[in-house]
Structure 1
Amino acid sequence: MSLLQKIKGCFAFICYLINTIFWVTPILAFSIVKLLPNAHTNRFCSYVLDHCASNWISVNTVIEASLHPVKIQLTGDTHFSEEQWYMVIANHQSWVDILILQRVFNRKIPFLKFFLKQELIYVPLLGLAWWALDFPFMRRYTTAQLKKNPKLRGKDIEITRKACEKFKTKPVSVMNFVEGTRFNTTKHAKQESPFQHLLKPKAGGMAFALSAMGEHIHTLVNVTIYYPNKVPSYWQYICGDLDEVKVHVEITPIPAKLKGDYTKDREFKIGFQEELNQLWQDKDRIMTQLAMSNHKPEA
């Protein structure tokens, strides 16, 4: 990476920071108003908050285009609506995935709400903004923790349900990285993943969200992200060390067989896992095709 790229990266970071402070300020202000026990006020504030967040992303896109432009090769389905509820799933390789998804879908579908790890609420500025925007914060418990304190069992399910209750008042896009963590070769080998490019999908969070939002969410947006050269870090991204990314989108109706009681209905649980594994097999095949298309000899 050249010195000029590093200087551009530092300048881009400052621009992103200023933009974040500018938009987080009204977001936090309206989130305080949203605490008032009035349904109409809460609904109004939710629209204002999402509008501020969309503007935040739009300015970020301008910064990217000006300082470190990235070409996004978008294939697949591209007909969206801001008036529908969506369940969005994607493979996960880098923090840059989130920025790519926001750029692809900003102002095309309702603002993306990510399931985040509980620890991320402590990220300066962003943690508060995510909380104000009703991003669900999930706390995962290890087997040892559950054995020590059985009362924790099912707590994550309850958190998911409470979070999804907030999503019923206006259209929303619920985003879930179902692998649960970012892909790397070490994790891939440790899991003994049956997929070439992916980690094993975790069905629970998606199943609980679909169950909680069953009467609202009817459409699945399945996103495959592929970096032709290398998976970039955030620093490499803002320094302009990423020229191109390929994004494939498939939009399908969510069948009734994917909505049920994941905790108590064993047959449904097995069926849901099988369906998700099939989606992941298809995604693995798409990533292989994207990789092969990247290496086609020029005519």
Structure 2
Amino acid sequence: MLALLFFVLNSLVVIVNSVICSVVICIIALVKVLLPSPKLKANATSVANQVMWLWATINAKVLALTNHVEWDIEGGEELKQDGWYLLISNHLSWTDIVVLCCVFKDRIPMPKFFLKQQLMYIPFLGMACWALDMPFMRRYSREYLIRHPEKRGQDLLTTRRSCEKFKYTPTTVVNYVEGTRFTREKQRSSKAGYQYLLQPKTGGIAYTLAAMGDQFENIIDVTLAYPENTDKPFKDMLMGRMTKIVVRTQVLPIDEHVRGDYFNDKPFKRQFQQWLSSLWQDKDLLLQKIYQSK
């Protein structure tokens, strides 16, 4: 009964918090449209980011009040709030968004997530993400592009337009490299050779680096795990059953492994894919160690 009560109360608080903060952010966005200069628009964006910080802080308080969580956080001590970062991470659950915002809200600029186009239509939340200049991506399959060659390069163009808005305010751009949430069924069907991960997709990072590579200071590689709540972490969090959250962070340089023309230079493209594959193999071994030591 207590878990059910927590679920109802936490869900209500999260929904109300999200609605109120979303409405405020949308109002700020409307004001920003009317402002005459890029500097004033950047100031409006900073205010909107502060509202997102408030949203994350309230969610963190809810998580702390109703869950007895052991936080196991390592790495990233050199990060700063006025930098530009590309953050990549494995993806397990909606909980990931809450956790990333809670862990990093006072250490780096508020994260801006690459979102699927369909999420724009979620009431309040989708509009707020749009107002925060979060990129909404519409991925085209290879078969679709064969039928509609005029759509080739549209993803890169969309990414560049979105990233243009990040040049005036310190920003963290978040990319879930696997492109979807991890499940055992997806892991078995992918046949990628990873035990705790899905096959990483290089395109999303390549698009972002092509648009903003010169502006990013570092890549933040984050590994998330909920070793005692592996099946339904978001539901467990709302029910007050979350017991342990593990976050491992390493800060990577923007070097020759990620600098190059991914779209036209085939040797660089192979090197980039090998670099990301190696990074994911190390992440899989790290997750194995985390889950075996629970």
**TM tier, smaller:** over 0.9
Distance 2:85 2:198 in 1: 23
- TM-score, normalising length: structure 2: 0.95
- TM-score, normalising length: structure 1: 0.94
Map 1:283-294 onto structure 2 (within 5 A). Answer: 283-294=283-294
Distance 2:61 2:123 in 1: 23
Letter of the 1:121 counterpart: M
Report the equivalent of 1:5: 3
Report the Cα offset of residue 68 of structure 1: 2.8
**What count of residue pairs does the alignment treat as equivalent?**
292
Distance 1:277 1:115 in 2: 21
Q: Is the 8 A contact 1:78 1:249 kept in 2?
A: no
User: Could you say what secondary structure the match of 1:102 adopts?
Assistant: helix
Report the equivalent of 1:297: none
Q: Which runs of 4+ in 1 moved over 2 A?
A: 67-71, 76-79, 231-236
Report the Cα offset of residue 69 of structure 1: 4.1
Matched, 1:58 2:57: yes
Map 1:63-82 onto structure 2 (within 5 A). Answer: 63-82=62-81
User: Could you say what secondary structure the match of 2:123 adopts?
Assistant: coil
Distance 1:222 1:168 in 2: 22
Distance 2:273 2:210 in 1: 14
**253-262 or 179-188: which moved more?**
253-262
Report the Cα offset of residue 59 of structure 1: 1.3
Report the equivalent of 1:35: 33
Letter of the 1:9 counterpart: F
Distance 1:112 1:77 in 2: 15
Report the equivalent of 2:175: 176
Report the equivalent of 2:240: 240
Distance 2:233 2:197 in 1: 18
For structure 2, which runs of at least 5 residues remain unmatched after alignment? Answer: none
Distance 1:232 1:245 in 2: 13
Percent identical pairs in the alignment equals 37
Letter of the 1:266 counterpart: K
Report the equivalent of 1:279: 279
Report the Cα offset of residue 107 of structure 1: 1.7
Q: Is the 8 A contact 1:263 1:269 kept in 2?
A: yes
User: Could you say what secondary structure the match of 1:194 adopts?
Assistant: coil
Q: Is the 8 A contact 1:69 1:243 kept in 2?
A: yes
Distance 1:214 1:250 in 2: 18
Q: Is the 8 A contact 1:207 1:259 kept in 2?
A: no
For structure 1, which runs of at least 5 residues remain unmatched after alignment? Answer: 295-299
